[in-house]
Amino acid sequence: MFRSKCFSPIRDEQGQSAILVAMMFNVLFVFFAMAINVGMIVHDKINLQNSVDLAAYYAASKQAEILNAIAHENYMIRQSWKLLAWRYRVLGTIGMIDNQFAHPSHTGNVSDSIYQPATAPSVCMTYQPNWQEVPSGENLCRRPDVRIPPLPQVKVIAGFLGLNQGIAALSTQLRAQFDAQCRKHGAFNWWFAMSIMQAFRIDQRNRMQVIEALAANLSQDKNGDFTDLDGNSVLAGATATFQKNLTYANARTNTNFKLINGLAGVDPQKWLPKIIIAPTILYTDIDNSNGCNAVNRTIEDTPHEQTAQDIIAAPWPSGLQASDLYQWASQMNSVSMTSDYQFTLGVEKNPWYEVYMGVKASTQPREVFFPVAGSVPMSARAYAKPFGGRIGPWYSNQWSKGSDTSTGDPVDQLVPPRVTTNGGANSDNRRLPNYGRYPGDPLGMMSNLSQNSLANLGNFRASFGYYINIKADFQSGAANDIMAWDGASGPDIRYLEMAAIAPDLFDVTYYSVEPDFEQNYLTRLQANASALGIPSTTVIRPDLGFNGTAIQQFSVQNQMSTVQTKSLQKTEAYYFIRDKANLLTGWLPAQGAFTYDTTQALQNFGKCKVNDDSFTHKNPGSCVAGGGRVGYSTKLVSRDMLLGAQPRGGGSGSSGTISNPPTD
């Protein structure tokens, strides 16, 4: 019988797990690739945001540098104004020696109380022994209302007597000399008053030209771009900063980069309006009656005596070579409101226009494990802004949204009234140059202490020749800045002027004062003037005190050092800033700075442990470590912050949104 043959099943299962593992590996690899790709996407997204942040920070830091230059030039206008006020109120009145009117420098009065003759002083320069050109023993300025009757005319009664004829001739000669000196009286006084006023006009004009050019540069409307202080394109720099910080995946794709300038297209007069004033000065002339009788006039009214006018026009040293001043006297307050010859106190920053930079960029990185899915589009946006600096005080203490200027009470109640139209001049005594030494100062240069704040003031020696050049425009490399000048040496009166205008409590409260502007900003402005839009005819002036012959590098810290070395400021004058570290009143990255915890933040405020005096490369603020800083810093901000309502205009109801919000 036939038996069929049966096959048993294969029982060898070796190799089946390998297939399972291979299948699981594919799944795990997909998950692994997804995890890696997600990580790479997150990494590239973070990198894109960081790169955008850096680019925005870079661009805003360039804005901050330009704002610092604007702020310091604005402060130089303040110093120039202080110099004008000191010359007018101190040099112009120090000749008074009569007991009733005696100047505080003669009486030793250092009380911070009102000196009545300084409320509306009249410039009188013909006094001895301070001025070389004034004859010995002569002082027609000993009191503000000097009245000298004419010398009597001796008549020739007995012509045959030689003695009688001699006395009569001497009488005639003395009368002629008396009349000549009396006529010179008005010439010297008007010339000095008009010269110091014109010197201020020219100085502030040059500095305003720089300020307006820098402001117009920041307001350029060309794809967010403007020129930095080194003459370079900020758009190019921000783009390079962005690209150099991208990852390989972000950098190898086509990137879309956009720079956003918050000031683009904004009229500079909207965000940085001028403070136009119509100042004047009183000077002592003589009236038309017999004798030498004082009469006060404003400098718009030239001396009435023809002899005085001839002296003003005649060349130095026989005259005062100042015929050009007649033109400016006739146009004191009648030049166009848009002319840069208008008198200003500088500019004020409109709080409703924020200075900021934005960057928006996109990339499409293709991740390593996405060979089929293609690239991943991503975008990022960032904003940064300068902060912490001060261009200067508003003229008034409130600023309503939509207003072109500040309104309310003056921040410095002693400066001239603001004018908005020609013919704004009036008889208000506030038109006479004066300034506050500290916030809320009610006296300024009307104080006995202010009049007598400098050591050995009453004993200065000077020449009218030191002031011949101050009314001329400054030329780079020359020594004729607007301070008293006698060539290379510099007279003691020049140092007294430096001491008078040195920083005070008002200055450090409202201005960002760069101690070493010459090293950190001036050379860059001069080298790149054309690229920055500064007119070729504009002289970019150093800080006051520069002397192209003897002192070729000069800044505020040199002013302060000179004053302290020569001990020119009296200790009673509490309002002067005597240490350059005390200028460091800006924002600083110290513990407590962000919470305004003064117990912590004030540890470095206005201090510096390591300055840059011995360093080759200088540091803005002149402080390297262990202290504060000055001027504008830079910080990243959110778009919501720029769009949100913030307190901006001072006073009640001053919160609101900015007038130039980001639209992208």
Tens of pLDDT, residues 541-562: 899 988 766 566 789 999 999 9
User: 390-406: buried (b, 16+ CB within 10 Å) or exposed (e) per residue?
Assistant: bbbbbbbebbbbeeebb
**Mind listing the pLDDT tens digit for each residue in 502-524?**
999 999 999 999 999 999 999 99
pLDDT for res 595:
64
Q: How far is CA 500 from CA 43, 128, 564, 578, in A?
A: 59, 22, 12, 12
**Mind listing the pLDDT tens digit for each residue in 251-273?**
988 889 999 999 999 999 999 99
Task: Say if 313 falls within a structural domain.
Answer: yes
Task: Say if 214 falls within a structural domain.
Answer: yes
Q: How many separate domains does the chain show?
A: 1
The tokens describing 572, both together, are 């009673």
Low-confidence winner among 177-186, 206-215, 482-491 (lowest mean pLDDT) = 482-491
Could you tell me the end-to-end alpha-carbon distance of the chain, in angstroms, rounded to an integer?
99
Which residues fall within 8 angstroms of residue 20, CB to CB, at 6 or more apart?
Answer: none
Strand partners for 283: 123, 297
Peptide bond connecting 144 to the previous residue in cis, omega within 30 degrees of 0: no
Task: Say if 15 falls within a structural domain.
Answer: no
Average pLDDT score, the chain: 87
The tokens describing 445, both together, are 């240069």
Alpha helices in 219-341 (DSSP H): 234-244, 248-251, 268-271, 306-313, 324-330
pLDDT for res 522:
93
Peptide bond connecting 442 to the previous residue in cis, omega within 30 degrees of 0: no
> What's the CA gap between 629 and 582, in Å, rounded?
10
Which has the closest alpha carbon to 395: 383, 407, 404, 385? Answer: 407
pLDDT for res 154:
44
Q: Residue 531, Cα to own-chain centre: how many angstroms?
A: 21
420 falls in which pLDDT band (50, 70, 90)? confident
Strand partners for 361: 257, 380
Higher pLDDT, 197 or 287: 197
Whole-structure pTM value: 0.90
Tokens 């200027």 appear where?
Answer: 405
The tokens describing 654, both together, are 């001053």
Which has the closest alpha carbon to 95: 283, 297, 279, 291? Answer: 283
> What's the CA gap between 106 and 277, in Å, rounded?
33
459 falls in which pLDDT band (50, 70, 90)? confident
What is the greatest pairwise CA distance in the chain? Answer: 200
3-state helix, strand, coil in the chain (%, to 5): 35, 10, 50
Q: How far is CA 435 from CA 278, 415, 453, 596, in A?
A: 15, 5, 15, 30
Answer yes or no: are the C-beta atoms of 62 and 406 closer than 8 Å.
no
pLDDT for res 265:
95
> What's the CA gap between 68 and 76, in Å, rounded?
12
Higher pLDDT, 23 or 295: 295
Q: Residue 218, Cα to own-chain centre: how many angstroms?
A: 17
Beta strands in 277-389 (DSSP E): 282-286, 292-298, 344-347, 357-363, 378-387
Q: Residue 379, Cα to own-chain centre: how many angstroms?
A: 40
Q: Torsions phi, psi of 201, nearest 5?
A: -60, -45
Answer yes or no: are the C-beta atoms of 97 and 103 closer than 8 Å.
yes
Q: Which long-range contacts (CB under 8 A, 24 or more apart) does 588-591 make?
A: 588/627, 588/628, 588/629, 590/628
Task: Say if 262 falls within a structural domain.
Answer: yes
The tokens describing 427, both together, are 């008889």
pLDDT for res 384:
97
pLDDT for res 151:
45
- pLDDT beyond 60 at 169: no
Length of the chain: 664
Task: Say if 81 falls within a structural domain.
Answer: yes
> What's the CA gap between 97 and 544, in Å, rounded?
31
1 falls in which pLDDT band (50, 70, 90)? very low
Answer yes or no: are the C-beta atoms of 271 and 401 closer than 8 Å.
no
Residue 415: left (phi > 0), alpha (psi -120 to 50), or beta?
beta
Q: How many CA atoms lie within 13 A of 225 on its CB side?
A: 14
pLDDT for res 565:
93
Which has the closest alpha carbon to 404: 354, 351, 356, 355? Answer: 351
Which has the closest alpha carbon to 111: 493, 439, 443, 430? Answer: 443
Q: Torsions phi, psi of 414, nearest 5?
A: -100, -10
**Mind listing the pLDDT tens digit for each residue in 87-119?**
999 999 999 999 889 999 999 999 999 999 999
- pLDDT beyond 70 at 181: yes
Higher pLDDT, 54 or 466: 54
pLDDT for res 177:
62
Tell me the range of 8-22, 224-238, 316-330 where mean pLDDT is highest. 224-238
498 falls in which pLDDT band (50, 70, 90)? very high
pLDDT for res 568:
94
594 falls in which pLDDT band (50, 70, 90)? low
Task: Say if 548 falls within a structural domain.
Answer: yes
Q: What angle do CA 112, 99, 179 make, to 5 degrees?
A: 120
**Mind listing the pLDDT tens digit for each residue in 371-410?**
556 788 999 999 999 998 999 999 999 999 999 999 999 9
Task: Say if 595 falls within a structural domain.
Answer: no
Higher pLDDT, 567 or 35: 567
pLDDT for res 63:
98
Task: Say if 352 falls within a structural domain.
Answer: yes
- pLDDT beyond 70 at 488: no
600 falls in which pLDDT band (50, 70, 90)? low
pLDDT for res 336:
84
Strand partners for 623: 611
Show the domain range for 286. Answer: 27-587+629-656
Which residues fall within 8 angstroms of residue 380, CB to CB, at 6 or more apart?
Answer: 45, 48, 49, 51, 52, 360, 361, 362
> What's the CA gap between 316 and 318, in Å, rounded?
5
Rg for the chain (alpha carbons), in Å?
35
Low-confidence winner among 17-26, 367-376, 402-411, 609-618 (lowest mean pLDDT) = 367-376
**Mind listing the pLDDT tens digit for each residue in 236-247?**
999 999 999 999
- pLDDT above 90 as % of the chain: 58
Tokens 């200003």 appear where?
Answer: 344
State how beta strands 623-625 and 610-611 pair: antiparallel
